[in-house]
Amino acid sequence: MAGESHPVLEARGIVKIFGQHRALDGVDFAVRPGEVHALLGENGAGKSTLIKILTGAYQPDGGEIVLDGAPVRFTDPLNAQGSGIGTVYQEVNLLPNRSVAENLFLGRQPTRFGLVQRHAIVTQATALMATYGLDIDVRAELGSYSVAVQQIVAIARAVELSGKVLVLDEPTASLDRNEVEKLFEVIAKLKARGLGIIFITHFLDQVFAVADRVTILRNGQLIGTRDLSTLTATEVVRMMLGKDLAYGHSSLPVAEAAKGPVKVTFTGLGRADRVAPFTLSLHEGEVVGVAGLLGSGRTEMARLMFGVDTADEGDITVAGKPVKIRNPAQAVMAGFGFCPEDRKLDGIFGELSVRENIIIALQAKLGWFRALQRDEQDEIAGRYADDLDIRAANHDMPVKLLSGGNQQKVILARWLANDPTFLILDEPTRGIDVGAHAEIVRTINRLREEGLALLVISSELDEVVAYSNRVVVMRDRQMVAELHGADITPAVIVAAIADNTLTPEPVT
């Protein structure tokens, strides 16, 4: 259908240079009306940069953009929007303190006699959200909703603004399975309407589920554009990495009970509006995986443990001694580390350098009067950057200039450098390319062998199975199951997550 139609939007021979670094080196790319075109590549391959050039956020250093067969120059994203190109960037750029409705209609509010028609906005916004299957109060602040809802609002806004092309840069990174399905339904509708859709993701199964064609970048170079019907997942990965993936999950010995002494115990820890009281002990050299749907209370549990939210009941002991944790600083002093899911909100200091971002938690723990010397800082940053394969031109560059996945690795490096005895990782592989997933799974297993206690929240069940000694399952803000030994398989975990709540939704 989309088969032989002319491209709606094209990039020809695009070059983009940052300092010494060629982020894009003569890249061709074209999206046709009515197709979903996936753009793939490792962290730092140049995907977001290409999108930013196609949508006017960056100017190219060479090459041209062609819209409907005619060369164009977009001065900024608003300008591109005016030509029918709507974008949801990797980092959501909405206003959390404004209402959902205002965010949807920002800059194009229906007015009468110069006054914004608030009532009209609320009605329209409610109807619009309903088409995405969201029944929410659009007058509430956007920031009061989950990342998933915020993401859908961003998508709805971009779709409404764009007539020809919709660009989605990792739109599903914070969505759970049901929400991803909802989004795919929306994509299918938009595709039928004749929109050209550019889709960036690190989830290969999603690429095969929705995309018609794929373009693969590696180190700023175009590797190729193919019909997905002619490719296997293995071939796609080989094109991305330039080699086969060494994963080796299945060979890892797992699910043995941890033999070390108990390191940290949470007894009856809970908070009325967040998580029902739970009791959990973690041993030295143990990984406890946490499974559950988005919104099941996984992240809330981690936030209570680390004092981001204060518990209103329960006790914590570390190596048998009671500790009080009412804020993250106390958690750090107790030897805890927490690598959060949403790097933009909770983790990264964009203006600070890669080096500073890595050493900041360690420095805070040592106390500022014991300032780390510059060569110590370089040594620590260098070691963890190597371990995790962080790709940055140098460690003095502001971390906001790194690709999204590399920023995620910087936060992980920060908490490893802090030398914790108990480390919480919330979705550690989110936004990270398939090649580096294996690296992170190996890192978790290595930390376990070094005697750390780890709590790892993840939706990637294959990975949970590959590193967990035990798995706890959250549902409806309660800890509902604990799995051991042979029960630690994706199938058993899925069953525990779903339980009897998996009644089919009514078809409307």
Ligand X SMILES: Nc1ncnc2c1ncn2[C@@H]1O[C@H](COP(=O)(O)OP(=O)(O)OP(=O)(O)O)[C@@H](O)[C@H]1O
Instruction: Report the residue from 30, 43, 399, 473 that binds ligand X according to the rule CB under 6 A.
Output: 43
Token pair 């604990």: residue? 482
Window 378-407: contact mask with Mg ion (x via CB under 5 A): -------------------------xx---
Which one of Mg ion, ligand X, none interacts with residue 87, CB within 5 to 8 A by kind? none
**Buried b vs exposed e over 258-289: b needs ≥16 C-beta within 10 Å?**
beeebbbbbeebbbeebbbbbebebbbbbbbb
- Other Cβ atoms within 10 Å of 344 Cβ, number: 15
For residue 201, the minimal CB distance to ligand X (Å) is 9
- Which CB, 81 or 407, lies closer to Mg ion? 407
By CB under 6 A, residue 269 contacts ligand X: no
For residue 391, the minimal CB distance to ligand X (Å) is 6
For residue 433, the minimal CB distance to ligand X (Å) is 6
- Which CB, 41 or 289, lies closer to ligand X? 41
For residue 50, the minimal CB distance to Mg ion (Å) is 10
The residues pairing with 322 across neighbouring beta strands, listed in sequence order, are 317
By CB under 6 A, residue 347 contacts ligand X: no
By CB under 6 A, residue 361 contacts ligand X: no
For residue 81, the minimal CB distance to Mg ion (Å) is 20
- Which CB, 404 or 428, lies closer to Mg ion? 404
Distance in angstroms (rounded) separating the CA atoms of residues 74 and 6: 21
Asked if residue 155 lies in contact with residue 93, where contact means CB atoms within 8 angstroms, the answer is no
By CB under 5 A, residue 41 contacts Mg ion: no
By CB under 5 A, residue 431 contacts Mg ion: no
Q: Scanning residues 417 to 446, which ones bind ligand X (CB under 6 A)?
A: 433
- Which CB, 16 or 414, lies closer to ligand X? 16
By CB under 6 A, residue 18 contacts ligand X: yes
Instruction: Report the residue from 45, 48, 294, 480 that binds Mg ion according to the rule CB under 5 A.
Output: 48
Which one of Mg ion, ligand X, none interacts with residue 349, CB within 5 to 8 A by kind? none
Distance in angstroms (rounded) separating the CA atoms of residues 465 and 251: 11
Instruction: Report the residue from 55, 403, 443, 459 that binds ligand X according to the rule CB under 6 A.
Output: 403
Asked if residue 170 lies in contact with residue 198, where contact means CB atoms within 8 angstroms, the answer is no
By CB under 5 A, residue 172 contacts Mg ion: no
For residue 410, the minimal CB distance to ligand X (Å) is 11
Listed in sequence order, the residues at least 6 apart from 350 whose beta carbon sits closer than 8 Å to its beta carbon are: 398, 399, 400
Cα dihedral 63, 49, 239, 445 in deg (nearest 10): 160
- Which CB, 48 or 87, lies closer to Mg ion? 48
Which one of ligand X, Mg ion, none interacts with residue 277, CB within 5 to 8 A by kind? none
By CB under 6 A, residue 353 contacts ligand X: no
Distance in angstroms (rounded) separating the CA atoms of residues 19 and 21: 6
DSSP state of 107: T
- Which CB, 55 or 103, lies closer to ligand X? 55
Instruction: Report the residue from 7, 33, 34, 41 that binds ligand X according to the rule CB under 6 A.
Output: 41
For 19-71, the three-class secondary structure string (H helix, E strand, C coil) is CCEEEEEEEEEEECCCCEEEEECCCCCCHHHHHHHHCCCCCCCEEEEEECCEE
Instruction: Report the residue from 9, 11, 23, 282 that binds ligand X according to the rule CB under 6 A.
Output: 23
Give just the sign of the alpha carbon dihedral 399, 197, 461, 133: positive
By CB under 5 A, residue 429 contacts Mg ion: no
Which one of Mg ion, ligand X, none interacts with residue 427, CB within 5 to 8 A by kind? none
Q: Scanning residues 80 to 99, which ones bind Mg ion (CB under 5 A)?
A: 90
DSSP string, 351-415: TSBHHHHHHHHHHHHH-GGGPPPHHHHHHHHHHHHHHTT---S-TTSBGGGS-HHHHHHHHHHHH
Number of residues that bind ligand X (CB under 6 A): 19
The helix or strand, by DSSP H or E, that contains position 241, with its residue range, turns out to be helix 233-241
Stretch of 253-261, 365-373, 395-403, 480-488 lying at the interface with ligand X (CB under 6 A)? 395-403
Q: Scanning residues 47 to 86, which ones bind ligand X (CB under 6 A)?
A: 47-49
Which one of ligand X, Mg ion, none interacts with residue 172, CB within 5 to 8 A by kind? none
- Which CB, 173 or 474, lies closer to ligand X? 173
Residue 339 tokens, joined: 């690598």
Distance in angstroms (rounded) separating the CA atoms of residues 210 and 204: 10
Residue 38 tokens, joined: 């996936």
**Buried b vs exposed e over 124-145: b needs ≥16 C-beta within 10 Å?**
bbbebbeebbbebebeeebeeb
For residue 403, the minimal CB distance to ligand X (Å) is 3
Instruction: Report the residue from 44, 86, 292, 347 that binds ligand X according to the rule CB under 6 A.
Output: 44
Distance in angstroms (rounded) separating the CA atoms of residues 213 and 82: 26
By CB under 6 A, residue 46 contacts ligand X: yes
Asked if residue 297 lies in contact with residue 275, where contact means CB atoms within 8 angstroms, the answer is yes
Distance in angstroms (rounded) separating the CA atoms of residues 319 and 306: 16
Contacting residues toward ligand X, per CB under 6 A: 18, 23, 41, 43-49, 90, 391, 401-406, 433
Contacting residues toward Mg ion, per CB under 5 A: 48, 90, 403-404
